[in-house]
Amino acid sequence: MPKSKKTLYRVTMPKNMTVKEASEYWDKHSFDEFDDIRETKFEIELKGEKHYVLLDADIAEKIEKLAKKKRKPRRVVINSLLKRSLMSV
């Protein structure tokens, strides 16, 4: 008895989409629509190291307020401030 095949049709995905366009596209489409999708396995090696530093409470509070104001993660604000400070040393 022959196996039944799921009918697949070719869908082309637009290139150079904005994040909003990609979001809207995937709201309307599914991977099931593509006939050339394959499972892929890969490994990612993250570079960089985490270093933890204890901050005084008043400094941590100021960082928190500044991060909220700039709508950025605390680590981004801290790294930016430290880079600027170290450039003047």
The reported pLDDT for the residue numbered 40 is 86
Tell whether domain 50-89 is in CATH 1.10.150.
no
Average per-residue pLDDT for the chain: 84
Statement: residue 44 has pLDDT above 80: yes
Please classify residue 19 by burial: count the beta carbons closer than 10 Å to its beta carbon, then call 0-12 exposed, 13-18 middle and 19+ buried: exposed
Statement: residue 69 has pLDDT above 80: yes
State pTM to two decimals: 0.46
- In the predicted model, what is the mean pLDDT of residues 15-19? 85
Q: What percent of the chain has pLDDT over 90?
A: 39
**Which long-range contacts does 14-20 make (Cβ < 8 Å, 24+ apart)?**
none
Q: Where are the domains of the chain?
A: 7-38, 50-89
- The C-alpha atoms of residue 72 and residue 80 are separated, in whole angstroms, by 11
At residue 57's C-alpha, the angle toward residues 54 and 59, to 5°, is 85
